[in-house]
Amino acid sequence: MLANALTRLDEAAAHLNIDSDVLEKLKFPRETTQVRLMIRMDDGSRKSFMAWRCRYDDTRGPTKGGIRFHPDASADEVETLAFWMTFKCAVMNLPYGGGKGAIKVDPHALSKAELERLSRAYIQAFSRIIGPDRDIPAPDVYTNSMIMGWMADEYSSIVGATTPAVITGKPIALGGSLGREDATARGGFYLIRRLAKELGLELGARVAVQGFGNAGQHIARLMAGDGYRVVAVSDSRGCLHNPAGLDVAAAIAAKKEGGLAALGQVKGNEWLPPEAAIGIDCDVLVPAALEDMIHKDNAEEVKAKIVLELANGPITPEADKLLAQRGIVVLPDILANAGGVTVSYFEWVQNRQGYYWTVEEVHQRLKAVMETEGWAIWQRSKELGITMRSAAYVHALARLAQAIEAHGTQQFFTA
Protein backbone atom coordinates (compact mmCIF):
# COMPACT_ATOMS: atom_id res chain seq x y z
CA MET A 1 0.00 0.00 0.00
CA LEU A 2 2.77 2.42 0.92
CA ALA A 3 4.69 1.56 -2.26
CA ASN A 4 1.56 2.43 -4.25
CA ALA A 5 1.15 5.73 -2.41
CA LEU A 6 4.79 6.62 -2.99
CA THR A 7 4.32 6.59 -6.77
CA ARG A 8 2.56 9.96 -6.29
CA LEU A 9 5.75 11.36 -4.82
CA ASP A 10 7.83 10.52 -7.89
CA GLU A 11 5.13 11.88 -10.20
CA ALA A 12 5.04 15.16 -8.30
CA ALA A 13 8.84 15.42 -8.18
CA ALA A 14 8.94 15.24 -11.97
CA HIS A 15 7.16 18.61 -12.10
CA LEU A 16 9.50 20.35 -9.66
CA ASN A 17 13.20 20.85 -9.52
CA ILE A 18 13.61 18.76 -6.38
CA ASP A 19 16.84 17.81 -4.69
CA SER A 20 17.28 14.04 -4.28
CA ASP A 21 17.77 14.60 -0.51
CA VAL A 22 14.16 15.68 -0.30
CA LEU A 23 12.88 12.50 -1.87
CA GLU A 24 15.16 10.37 0.30
CA LYS A 25 13.64 11.99 3.36
CA LEU A 26 10.03 11.54 2.23
CA LYS A 27 10.30 8.00 0.89
CA PHE A 28 10.39 6.29 4.27
CA PRO A 29 8.43 6.72 7.49
CA ARG A 30 10.56 8.18 10.22
CA GLU A 31 9.30 5.84 12.95
CA THR A 32 6.55 3.29 13.42
CA THR A 33 5.96 1.81 16.85
CA GLN A 34 4.07 -1.41 17.26
CA VAL A 35 2.72 -2.43 20.65
CA ARG A 36 0.57 -5.25 21.89
CA LEU A 37 -2.07 -3.77 24.20
CA MET A 38 -3.56 -5.93 26.94
CA ILE A 39 -6.88 -5.13 28.61
CA ARG A 40 -9.29 -6.75 31.06
CA MET A 41 -12.59 -7.72 29.44
CA ASP A 42 -15.91 -7.39 31.27
CA ASP A 43 -16.06 -11.17 31.85
CA GLY A 44 -12.74 -11.03 33.74
CA SER A 45 -10.60 -12.50 30.95
CA ARG A 46 -7.60 -10.77 29.39
CA LYS A 47 -7.43 -9.92 25.74
CA SER A 48 -4.67 -8.44 23.62
CA PHE A 49 -4.80 -6.17 20.57
CA MET A 50 -2.10 -5.04 18.16
CA ALA A 51 -1.65 -1.27 17.95
CA TRP A 52 0.54 1.15 15.99
CA ARG A 53 1.56 4.77 15.81
CA CYS A 54 3.54 6.07 12.85
CA ARG A 55 5.25 9.46 12.76
CA TYR A 56 5.93 9.69 9.06
CA ASP A 57 7.62 13.06 8.76
CA ASP A 58 7.95 16.05 11.08
CA THR A 59 9.76 18.51 8.85
CA ARG A 60 6.94 21.07 8.95
CA GLY A 61 5.98 20.60 12.61
CA PRO A 62 4.70 18.01 15.09
CA THR A 63 3.19 14.95 13.41
CA LYS A 64 -0.59 14.99 13.15
CA GLY A 65 -3.16 12.38 12.27
CA GLY A 66 -6.02 10.24 13.48
CA ILE A 67 -6.26 6.88 15.23
CA ARG A 68 -8.50 4.27 13.64
CA PHE A 69 -10.03 1.21 15.27
CA HIS A 70 -10.55 -1.41 12.60
CA PRO A 71 -10.24 -5.21 12.32
CA ASP A 72 -8.20 -4.87 9.09
CA ALA A 73 -5.69 -2.30 10.46
CA SER A 74 -2.04 -3.05 9.69
CA ALA A 75 1.37 -1.39 9.92
CA ASP A 76 1.40 -0.85 6.15
CA GLU A 77 -1.98 0.86 6.23
CA VAL A 78 -0.96 3.09 9.16
CA GLU A 79 2.25 4.15 7.39
CA THR A 80 0.38 4.89 4.18
CA LEU A 81 -2.22 6.97 5.99
CA ALA A 82 0.61 8.80 7.80
CA PHE A 83 2.27 9.54 4.44
CA TRP A 84 -1.03 11.00 3.21
CA MET A 85 -1.30 13.12 6.37
CA THR A 86 2.19 14.54 5.69
CA PHE A 87 1.01 15.74 2.30
CA LYS A 88 -2.44 16.79 3.51
CA CYS A 89 -1.01 19.10 6.17
CA ALA A 90 1.39 20.57 3.61
CA VAL A 91 -1.45 21.06 1.08
CA MET A 92 -3.33 23.11 3.68
CA ASN A 93 -0.18 24.88 4.90
CA LEU A 94 -0.78 23.70 8.48
CA PRO A 95 2.36 23.77 10.66
CA TYR A 96 2.35 19.98 11.00
CA GLY A 97 4.00 16.85 9.73
CA GLY A 98 2.06 13.62 9.20
CA GLY A 99 1.25 10.74 11.52
CA LYS A 100 -1.36 8.04 12.04
CA GLY A 101 -2.31 5.36 14.52
CA ALA A 102 -4.51 2.31 14.73
CA ILE A 103 -5.71 -0.56 16.87
CA LYS A 104 -6.59 -3.82 15.15
CA VAL A 105 -10.03 -4.33 16.70
CA ASP A 106 -13.70 -4.49 15.82
CA PRO A 107 -14.94 -1.77 18.18
CA HIS A 108 -18.56 -2.90 17.76
CA ALA A 109 -17.68 -6.15 19.50
CA LEU A 110 -16.60 -4.33 22.71
CA SER A 111 -18.69 -2.93 25.55
CA LYS A 112 -18.36 0.77 26.31
CA ALA A 113 -16.21 0.04 29.37
CA GLU A 114 -13.94 -2.27 27.34
CA LEU A 115 -13.63 0.39 24.64
CA GLU A 116 -12.62 2.94 27.29
CA ARG A 117 -9.99 0.58 28.77
CA LEU A 118 -8.60 -0.08 25.29
CA SER A 119 -8.44 3.64 24.47
CA ARG A 120 -6.63 4.35 27.73
CA ALA A 121 -4.26 1.43 27.16
CA TYR A 122 -3.32 2.94 23.78
CA ILE A 123 -2.31 6.20 25.46
CA GLN A 124 -0.41 4.39 28.23
CA ALA A 125 1.56 2.58 25.55
CA PHE A 126 2.22 5.63 23.37
CA SER A 127 2.45 8.39 25.99
CA ARG A 128 6.14 8.98 25.27
CA ILE A 129 5.58 9.22 21.55
CA ILE A 130 2.64 11.63 21.46
CA GLY A 131 2.59 15.16 22.91
CA PRO A 132 1.28 18.63 22.00
CA ASP A 133 4.60 19.57 20.39
CA ARG A 134 5.50 16.13 19.11
CA ASP A 135 2.59 14.08 17.78
CA ILE A 136 -1.09 14.95 18.01
CA PRO A 137 -3.73 12.25 17.43
CA ALA A 138 -7.36 12.79 16.39
CA PRO A 139 -10.38 10.69 15.37
CA ASP A 140 -10.43 8.53 12.25
CA VAL A 141 -12.47 5.50 11.10
CA TYR A 142 -14.57 4.14 14.04
CA THR A 143 -13.17 6.55 16.62
CA ASN A 144 -15.00 9.65 17.83
CA SER A 145 -15.00 12.56 20.27
CA MET A 146 -15.90 10.32 23.23
CA ILE A 147 -12.78 8.21 22.61
CA MET A 148 -10.62 11.34 22.14
CA GLY A 149 -11.95 12.62 25.49
CA TRP A 150 -10.86 9.43 27.28
CA MET A 151 -7.48 9.58 25.58
CA ALA A 152 -6.84 13.25 26.45
CA ASP A 153 -7.86 12.48 30.02
CA GLU A 154 -5.48 9.52 30.24
CA TYR A 155 -2.60 11.57 28.85
CA SER A 156 -3.29 14.42 31.28
CA SER A 157 -3.18 12.06 34.24
CA ILE A 158 0.06 10.45 33.03
CA VAL A 159 1.87 13.79 32.65
CA GLY A 160 0.16 15.34 35.67
CA ALA A 161 -1.13 18.43 33.87
CA THR A 162 -4.31 19.20 31.96
CA THR A 163 -3.05 18.91 28.37
CA PRO A 164 -5.94 19.32 25.93
CA ALA A 165 -3.63 20.17 22.99
CA VAL A 166 -2.29 16.58 22.88
CA ILE A 167 -5.38 15.35 21.01
CA THR A 168 -7.95 17.00 18.78
CA GLY A 169 -11.54 16.09 18.03
CA LYS A 170 -12.34 16.10 21.75
CA PRO A 171 -15.81 16.72 23.24
CA ILE A 172 -16.56 20.45 23.51
CA ALA A 173 -16.71 20.01 27.30
CA LEU A 174 -13.03 18.98 27.34
CA GLY A 175 -11.67 21.68 25.04
CA GLY A 176 -12.92 20.47 21.67
CA SER A 177 -13.56 23.06 18.97
CA LEU A 178 -16.97 24.05 17.76
CA GLY A 179 -17.30 22.95 14.14
CA ARG A 180 -14.89 19.97 14.38
CA GLU A 181 -17.68 17.38 14.13
CA ASP A 182 -18.70 18.18 10.54
CA ALA A 183 -15.38 19.73 9.46
CA THR A 184 -14.29 16.97 7.05
CA ALA A 185 -17.52 17.20 5.08
CA ARG A 186 -17.76 20.96 5.38
CA GLY A 187 -14.29 21.43 3.94
CA GLY A 188 -15.24 19.28 0.93
CA PHE A 189 -18.46 21.22 0.60
CA TYR A 190 -16.66 24.60 0.57
CA LEU A 191 -14.27 23.20 -2.04
CA ILE A 192 -17.09 22.03 -4.33
CA ARG A 193 -18.82 25.39 -3.96
CA ARG A 194 -15.64 27.29 -4.82
CA LEU A 195 -15.05 25.22 -7.95
CA ALA A 196 -18.71 24.69 -8.96
CA LYS A 197 -18.50 26.99 -11.96
CA GLU A 198 -15.25 25.50 -13.25
CA LEU A 199 -16.67 22.00 -12.73
CA GLY A 200 -19.90 22.86 -14.54
CA LEU A 201 -22.08 22.06 -11.55
CA GLU A 202 -25.52 23.59 -11.55
CA LEU A 203 -28.28 23.88 -8.98
CA GLY A 204 -29.96 20.51 -8.55
CA ALA A 205 -26.86 18.51 -9.56
CA ARG A 206 -27.14 14.90 -8.39
CA VAL A 207 -24.93 13.53 -5.61
CA ALA A 208 -24.28 9.92 -4.53
CA VAL A 209 -22.58 9.26 -1.20
CA GLN A 210 -20.74 5.97 -0.62
CA GLY A 211 -20.26 5.44 3.13
CA PHE A 212 -22.66 6.94 5.62
CA GLY A 213 -20.61 7.60 8.75
CA ASN A 214 -19.57 11.01 10.03
CA ALA A 215 -18.27 12.42 6.72
CA GLY A 216 -20.99 10.82 4.57
CA GLN A 217 -23.91 12.01 6.68
CA HIS A 218 -22.65 15.56 6.96
CA ILE A 219 -21.83 15.95 3.25
CA ALA A 220 -25.31 14.65 2.33
CA ARG A 221 -26.90 17.14 4.74
CA LEU A 222 -24.78 20.10 3.59
CA MET A 223 -25.22 19.44 -0.13
CA ALA A 224 -28.96 18.78 0.15
CA GLY A 225 -29.25 22.04 2.12
CA ASP A 226 -27.48 23.86 -0.70
CA GLY A 227 -29.88 22.69 -3.43
CA TYR A 228 -28.07 19.56 -4.62
CA ARG A 229 -30.14 16.41 -5.14
CA VAL A 230 -28.79 13.51 -3.06
CA VAL A 231 -29.88 10.48 -5.08
CA ALA A 232 -28.07 7.72 -3.18
CA VAL A 233 -26.43 7.02 0.16
CA SER A 234 -24.85 3.68 1.03
CA ASP A 235 -23.22 1.85 3.92
CA SER A 236 -21.73 -1.63 4.32
CA ARG A 237 -25.21 -3.20 4.25
CA GLY A 238 -26.71 -1.60 1.16
CA CYS A 239 -27.34 1.42 -1.01
CA LEU A 240 -30.49 3.51 -0.72
CA HIS A 241 -31.37 5.03 -4.08
CA ASN A 242 -33.99 7.46 -5.34
CA PRO A 243 -33.37 9.22 -8.68
CA ALA A 244 -35.77 12.00 -7.66
CA GLY A 245 -33.76 12.72 -4.50
CA LEU A 246 -33.72 11.20 -1.02
CA ASP A 247 -35.01 12.73 2.20
CA VAL A 248 -31.55 13.14 3.77
CA ALA A 249 -32.81 13.96 7.27
CA ALA A 250 -34.87 10.73 7.23
CA ALA A 251 -31.81 8.76 6.03
CA ILE A 252 -29.66 10.14 8.87
CA ALA A 253 -32.39 9.33 11.40
CA ALA A 254 -32.78 5.78 9.99
CA LYS A 255 -29.02 5.22 10.11
CA LYS A 256 -28.97 6.23 13.79
CA GLU A 257 -32.00 4.08 14.64
CA GLY A 258 -30.82 0.79 13.20
CA GLY A 259 -30.30 0.98 9.46
CA LEU A 260 -30.93 2.59 6.10
CA ALA A 261 -32.73 -0.55 4.86
CA ALA A 262 -35.87 0.56 6.72
CA LEU A 263 -36.31 3.31 4.09
CA GLY A 264 -36.07 0.87 1.18
CA GLN A 265 -39.86 0.45 1.29
CA VAL A 266 -40.62 4.19 0.99
CA LYS A 267 -42.27 5.10 -2.34
CA GLY A 268 -39.65 6.09 -4.94
CA ASN A 269 -36.78 4.55 -2.96
CA GLU A 270 -35.00 1.31 -3.80
CA TRP A 271 -32.61 -0.77 -1.71
CA LEU A 272 -29.60 -2.03 -3.68
CA PRO A 273 -26.44 -3.97 -2.77
CA PRO A 274 -23.70 -1.76 -1.25
CA GLU A 275 -21.43 -1.93 -4.32
CA ALA A 276 -24.17 -0.31 -6.46
CA ALA A 277 -23.20 3.08 -4.97
CA ILE A 278 -20.15 3.39 -7.26
CA GLY A 279 -22.18 3.11 -10.48
CA ILE A 280 -25.17 5.29 -9.55
CA ASP A 281 -26.19 7.75 -12.26
CA CYS A 282 -25.16 11.10 -10.73
CA ASP A 283 -22.98 14.19 -11.23
CA VAL A 284 -20.89 14.03 -8.05
CA LEU A 285 -19.80 10.77 -6.45
CA VAL A 286 -18.56 11.09 -2.87
CA PRO A 287 -16.61 8.09 -1.52
CA ALA A 288 -16.72 8.67 2.24
CA ALA A 289 -15.70 5.34 3.76
CA LEU A 290 -12.54 3.30 3.35
CA GLU A 291 -9.63 2.80 0.93
CA ASP A 292 -9.70 1.12 -2.48
CA MET A 293 -13.46 1.39 -3.07
CA ILE A 294 -12.96 2.36 -6.72
CA HIS A 295 -10.57 -0.07 -8.38
CA LYS A 296 -9.72 -1.28 -11.87
CA ASP A 297 -12.71 -3.64 -11.99
CA ASN A 298 -15.41 -1.08 -11.19
CA ALA A 299 -13.89 2.21 -12.42
CA GLU A 300 -15.74 1.82 -15.73
CA GLU A 301 -19.05 1.82 -13.83
CA VAL A 302 -18.54 5.35 -12.48
CA LYS A 303 -21.07 7.68 -14.14
CA ALA A 304 -20.30 10.83 -12.18
CA LYS A 305 -18.24 13.58 -13.81
CA ILE A 306 -16.76 14.63 -10.46
CA VAL A 307 -15.48 12.51 -7.57
CA LEU A 308 -15.07 14.19 -4.18
CA GLU A 309 -12.78 12.00 -2.06
CA LEU A 310 -13.88 12.41 1.54
CA ALA A 311 -12.34 9.04 2.43
CA ASN A 312 -8.58 8.58 2.45
CA GLY A 313 -7.36 6.66 -0.60
CA PRO A 314 -10.75 5.50 -1.97
CA ILE A 315 -9.39 5.22 -5.55
CA THR A 316 -6.54 2.85 -6.46
CA PRO A 317 -3.79 4.30 -8.70
CA GLU A 318 -4.97 2.07 -11.59
CA ALA A 319 -8.56 3.28 -11.27
CA ASP A 320 -7.29 6.84 -10.98
CA LYS A 321 -5.79 6.56 -14.47
CA LEU A 322 -8.98 5.06 -15.90
CA LEU A 323 -11.08 7.91 -14.47
CA ALA A 324 -8.66 10.55 -15.76
CA GLN A 325 -8.76 9.03 -19.26
CA ARG A 326 -12.54 9.42 -19.20
CA GLY A 327 -12.25 13.09 -18.22
CA ILE A 328 -13.68 12.53 -14.73
CA VAL A 329 -12.34 15.17 -12.31
CA VAL A 330 -11.20 13.75 -8.98
CA LEU A 331 -10.95 16.21 -6.10
CA PRO A 332 -8.25 14.31 -4.18
CA ASP A 333 -8.38 13.21 -0.54
CA ILE A 334 -5.38 15.25 0.61
CA LEU A 335 -7.33 18.37 -0.39
CA ALA A 336 -11.00 17.32 -0.35
CA ASN A 337 -11.06 15.82 3.16
CA ALA A 338 -8.51 18.18 4.70
CA GLY A 339 -11.24 20.18 6.46
CA GLY A 340 -11.02 17.67 9.32
CA VAL A 341 -7.36 18.22 10.11
CA THR A 342 -7.72 21.95 9.47
CA VAL A 343 -10.29 22.33 12.22
CA SER A 344 -8.13 20.00 14.33
CA TYR A 345 -5.42 22.60 13.91
CA PHE A 346 -7.88 25.32 14.99
CA GLU A 347 -8.71 23.22 18.05
CA TRP A 348 -5.01 22.89 18.96
CA VAL A 349 -4.53 26.65 18.51
CA GLN A 350 -7.52 27.36 20.78
CA ASN A 351 -6.25 24.88 23.40
CA ARG A 352 -2.86 26.54 23.45
CA GLN A 353 -4.17 30.07 23.68
CA GLY A 354 -6.94 29.06 26.11
CA TYR A 355 -9.45 31.21 24.28
CA TYR A 356 -12.26 29.73 22.22
CA TRP A 357 -13.84 30.80 18.95
CA THR A 358 -17.47 30.88 17.86
CA VAL A 359 -18.67 28.35 15.32
CA GLU A 360 -18.98 31.17 12.78
CA GLU A 361 -15.30 32.02 13.24
CA VAL A 362 -14.35 28.38 12.73
CA HIS A 363 -16.46 28.12 9.56
CA GLN A 364 -15.14 31.35 8.13
CA ARG A 365 -11.50 30.38 8.72
CA LEU A 366 -12.05 26.89 7.30
CA LYS A 367 -13.76 28.33 4.23
CA ALA A 368 -10.88 30.75 3.66
CA VAL A 369 -8.22 28.00 3.78
CA MET A 370 -10.20 25.56 1.62
CA GLU A 371 -10.85 28.21 -0.99
CA THR A 372 -7.29 29.51 -1.09
CA GLU A 373 -5.60 26.11 -1.33
CA GLY A 374 -8.33 24.62 -3.54
CA TRP A 375 -8.08 27.48 -6.01
CA ALA A 376 -4.26 27.39 -6.05
CA ILE A 377 -4.34 23.67 -6.83
CA TRP A 378 -6.99 24.17 -9.51
CA GLN A 379 -4.76 26.80 -11.14
CA ARG A 380 -1.70 24.60 -10.90
CA SER A 381 -3.54 21.70 -12.52
CA LYS A 382 -4.55 23.95 -15.43
CA GLU A 383 -1.08 25.46 -15.82
CA LEU A 384 0.70 22.13 -15.81
CA GLY A 385 -2.05 20.19 -17.59
CA ILE A 386 -2.17 17.58 -14.82
CA THR A 387 -4.91 16.07 -12.63
CA MET A 388 -6.04 17.75 -9.43
CA ARG A 389 -4.38 14.91 -7.52
CA SER A 390 -1.01 15.46 -9.16
CA ALA A 391 -1.38 19.21 -8.69
CA ALA A 392 -2.13 18.74 -4.98
CA TYR A 393 1.01 16.61 -4.59
CA VAL A 394 3.12 19.17 -6.45
CA HIS A 395 1.65 21.95 -4.27
CA ALA A 396 2.46 20.03 -1.07
CA LEU A 397 5.87 18.80 -2.20
CA ALA A 398 7.00 22.34 -3.00
CA ARG A 399 6.27 23.32 0.63
CA LEU A 400 7.86 20.19 2.06
CA ALA A 401 10.99 20.67 -0.04
CA GLN A 402 11.33 24.27 1.11
CA ALA A 403 11.10 23.20 4.75
CA ILE A 404 13.52 20.31 4.33
CA GLU A 405 16.05 22.65 2.76
CA ALA A 406 15.50 25.34 5.40
CA HIS A 407 16.37 22.86 8.16
CA GLY A 408 19.93 22.77 6.81
CA THR A 409 21.98 20.03 5.27
CA GLN A 410 23.25 18.49 8.54
CA GLN A 411 19.94 18.11 10.31
CA PHE A 412 17.61 15.19 9.73
CA PHE A 413 14.99 14.84 12.43
CA THR A 414 13.34 17.36 14.73
CA ALA A 415 11.42 16.28 17.83
Q: For ligand GLU, which is the closer residue by CB, 88 or 104?
A: 88
Query: What is the closest distance, in whole angstroms, from the C-beta atom of residue 227 to ligand GLU in the complex?
Result: 27
Is 340 a residue that touches ligand GLU (CB under 6 A)?
A: yes
Q: For ligand GLU, which is the closer residue by CB, 77 or 283?
A: 77
Is 64 a residue that touches ligand GLU (CB under 6 A)?
A: yes
Single out the residue of 232, 341, 370, 397 in contact with ligand GLU (rule: CB under 6 A).
341
Q: Write the DSSP assignment of 39-50 as a string of letters.
A: EE-TTS-EEEEE
Closest CA to 175 of 185, 167, 187, 183: 167
Is 80 a residue that touches ligand GLU (CB under 6 A)?
A: no
255 part of the active site:
no
Is 145 a residue that touches ligand GLU (CB under 6 A)?
A: no
Strand partners, 286: 209
Distance, CA of 156 to CA of 394 (rounded, Å): 39
Question: Annotated catalytic residue: which of 100, 104, 170, 255?
Answer: 100
Distance, CA of 191 to CA of 205 (rounded, Å): 15
Per-residue binder mask for ligand GLU (CB under 6 A), 342-371, x = binder: --x---------------------------
Task: Write out the binding residues for ligand GLU, residues 276-335 only, by CB under 6 A.
Answer: 312
CB atoms within 10 A of CB 318: 14
Query: What is the closest distance, in whole angstroms, from the C-beta atom of residue 64 to ligand GLU in the complex?
Result: 5
Is 168 a residue that touches ligand GLU (CB under 6 A)?
A: yes
Q: Mention every residue, 6+ apart, whose C-beta is less than 8 A from residue 355.
A: none
CA atoms within 13 A on the CB side of 148: 33
Is 66 a residue that touches ligand GLU (CB under 6 A)?
A: yes
B/e letters for 97-111, b = 16+ CB within 10 Å, e = fewer, are bbbbbbbbbebeebe
Stretch that binds ligand GLU, among 62-70, 147-155, 202-210, 252-260 (CB under 6 A): 62-70
Distance, CA of 252 to CA of 257 (rounded, Å): 9
Active-site positions read 100
Residues engaged in binding ligand GLU (CB under 6 A): 64-66, 88, 138, 140, 168-169, 312, 337, 340-341, 344
